[in-house]
Amino acid sequence: MHSIIYPRTGDTQTVYLNAVLHNPNLIVGDYTFYNDSVHDPREFEKRNVLYHYPINKDRLIIGKFCSIACGAKFLFNSANHTLKSLSTYPFPLFFEAWDLKREEVASAWDQKGDIRIGHDVWIGYEALILSGVTIGNGAIIGTRAVVTHDVAPYTIVGGVPAREIRKRFDAATISRLEQIQWWNWPIEQIQAHLPQLRAGEIDALMTNQ
């Protein structure tokens, strides 16, 4: 975990995300950053992680080297009024008023699971990721997309609801990137291979492992 909050000198709009989170159910890898030009990015946990009630114990898991743009939000299970009931009104949430048991509170909403974001994912401006969604490594989430279903690795999605626009690379290149997992290399190795990484030279990365 980073002890440094701000990656760039003089830039207080960008933070290493795992340096500003406190909730143990928010798990973020190294070098993942969040940029916010409207609010203090250190308030990510309060402003961007929504309906994340402790009673659920659901998790937000984000990998390494992700880029999260201003206003991107993660909407958790407690926002989902249950569809099992004949009414959408969350009676168990107001258990005292309706003489229900406190332990029944979580039955007011449907449980869809954790939100899982892979490594090297770019989440665009004001995108919304819903509970239960898994986003694969290297994916790109377009501006103001609403992601309701899983996104495959190295896939670009956009729209409401988000749909696939295209793959970033051909299937062979995606398979090789998933194999080498450069984000798990020692930092010195990543530093040494930045020219090949930035230039898209997958053959050089494979050769120099």
As annotated, the active-site residues are 81
Three-state secondary-structure class, residue 50: strand
In whole angstroms, give the CA distance from residue 70 to residue 28: 17
Distance CA 159, CA 171 (A): 24
Find, among 93, 132, 141, the residue nearest to 114 by Cα: 132
Which tokens belong to 96?
Answer: 């005292």
Distance CA 153, CA 176 (A): 12
| Contact indicator for 171, 178 with CB cutoff of 8 Å | no
Taking a C-beta distance cutoff of 8 angstroms, is the pair 45, 20 a contact? yes
- How many beta carbons lie within 10 A of that of residue 202, not counting itself? 17
Classified as helix, coil or strand, 40 is coil
